[in-house]
Amino acid sequence: MAYLVASVAGVVFFAMSVVLLGVLPTRALNADMRAMGPAKLPTLTASEQRGRIVYAREGCAYCHTQQVRYVHADMARFGAPTLAWETQFDFPQMWGTRRIGPDLAREGGTRPDDWQFAHLYAPRTVVPLSVMPSYASLFDGAANQPTNDGRDLVAYLSTLGRARELAAPEGEARAREACHCPDDEMAQMAFEMKELNAHPARARRTGPVPALPSAGDRAAGLQLYANYCAGCHGATGAGDGPAAAGLRPRPSNLSAHRYATDRIAETLWNGVAGTSMPAWRDQPLDRIAALVAAVQSLGQNASVDEASRSGDDLGARVYAANCVQCHGERGAGDGFSAASLAIAPTNFLKQQPFQSVALRALTSGIDGTSMAPWTSRLSEADITAVVHYVRSLYTGDAKEGRR
Ligand code: HEC
Ligand code: HEC
Ligand code: HEC
């Protein structure tokens, strides 16, 4: 009799725990996902689906989570906490349990693809202090020659956070309503952020740069430069860092330009669309100011830079006849065809290339951009004159153009 009671009790207890710990929570979760999720979720393309398999196969999940937790430190760094519906069809889930690298739940759109390729090929060329292993096997010997697996993986990375982003803002309002949780502090955190796919470094966004603290700390800036920028722009700013070889366009030669303060600040805040230059808006403003001071100091020790010759009629005429459609009438980079170019033409009011750099741009063009060589169309005298002319347009930190 005792055996019978014990085994019946055992079976009942087992069934009860399955119901209480398995069936009921699953039903609640499903109801939750139905109520809060958007009516239709975007599916992955074939390439993105294959990329997911590469992600799983290469063990990325051992070091990267894909779940932003309900913790303020997480939210400040990675964006809004992950809702259950976001990973609804993610099977097996890639949530991960360990964060040796950053969370990737909102990685899509955060880094340019070129950045991703250079980083996967050799992480330390891009992020000098990284401990991420190299995935050179996903490439044919160079960062700009990914194999199909490499392409698929980067396509997959670009989907992370996409569903949540597309669901906004109606989806967010719907979720908030369906949650019935005005007093639940935890649940409310999921809706606290205005921008959903809110990785703070999100690139390819433009927007006004907040006012920087006026004087940046140059020494601190140079240290940050060594940690974050030297991999691409090179230790001295010459554009020859270890990651530069695979990048088109090449990282700028920062030591051969004079840049206005707001030009650098804008670049750091928004990144450079169409290139591997990421946005750095996840950095505090005093660090951005320090980086601006550091970049400006890189160009200072070039004694080779001659004073620009101005008042040159020939230069102005050559410019008006050949360059205005892209670089703009006043040189502000806003010519009528500028908007249709993947990479924006240089704004000469805010950025002055040294003589040698400008000359090289005209004689060889700039690889990876629409700036073509002009040697077949302009004489040597024309080129020299127009180089002097574009350099004379620089206004530095002055607000108004000179002309
Ligand atoms: C041994 C741990 C480790 C493994 C395995 C690993 N990573 Fe990383 N990953 C890191 C670390 C640490 C960083 C932060 C430093 C850096 O940016 O390189 C990072 C950074 C990243 C970033 C940049 C995130 C950002 O926006 O700053 C991406 C994207 C990334 N990893 C993707 C991958 C992919 C894809 C794989 C698998 C092919 C992978 N990682 C495997 C440790 C790892
Ligand atoms: C992954 C490589 C990479 C990293 C890392 C990187 N840059 Fe860049 N940077 C580029 C590329 C590529 C361009 C665009 C060149 C062009 O427009 O032709 C660029 C453009 C710039 C420009 C605009 C200059 C111009 O002539 O248009 C500035 C200023 C700049 N970077 C500063 C920095 C600073 C400061 C850091 C570190 C916080 C940094 N970059 C990190 C690749 C990188
Ligand atoms: C089809 C559009 C187009 C035309 C026409 C054009 N440019 Fe450019 N130019 C560009 C682009 C795009 C860049 C590259 C910007 C970058 O790399 O960030 C560039 C870059 C440059 C640079 C290098 C600036 C630097 O700071 O490194 C110089 C100098 C220059 N152009 C001068 C000229 C002159 C002079 C003419 C006329 C003879 C001209 N360009 C015509 C689009 C154009």
In 10 A of CB 300, how many CB atoms?
10
Average pLDDT of the chain to the nearest whole number: 87
The percentage of residues in the chain with a pLDDT greater than 70, rounded to a whole number, is: 92
pTM over 0.75: yes
Tokens 């830079």 correspond to 305
Q: Give the chain's domains with CATH numbers.
A: 46-189 (1.10.760.10), 218-298 (1.10.760.10), 313-392 (1.10.760.10)
Distance from the alpha carbon of residue 55 to the mean position of ligand 3, in angstroms: 39
End-to-end CA distance of the chain: 104
Does the beta carbon of 262 sit less than 6 angstroms from any atom of ligand 1? Answer: no
Provide CB contacts within 8 A for 183, sequence distance 6+: none
Is 257 close to ligand 3, i.e. is its CB under 6 Å away?
yes
Q: Which atom of ligand 1 is nearest to the CA of 107?
A: 26
214 CB-contact burial (10 Å; exposed 0-12 / middle 13-18 / buried 19+): exposed
Give the closest residue (by CA) to ligand 1 atom 2.
63
Reported as a single tens digit per residue, the pLDDT across 333-390 is 999 999 888 888 999 999 999 998 999 999 999 988 899 999 999 999 999 999 999 9
CB 152 within 8 A of CB 46: no
Q: Closest residue (by CA) to atom 37 of ligand 3?
A: 323
Distance (Å) from CA 102 to ligand 1 centroid: 7
Give per-residue pLDDT as tens, 295-320.
999 977 554 455 555 556 899 999 99
Q: Which amino acid is at 115?
A: W
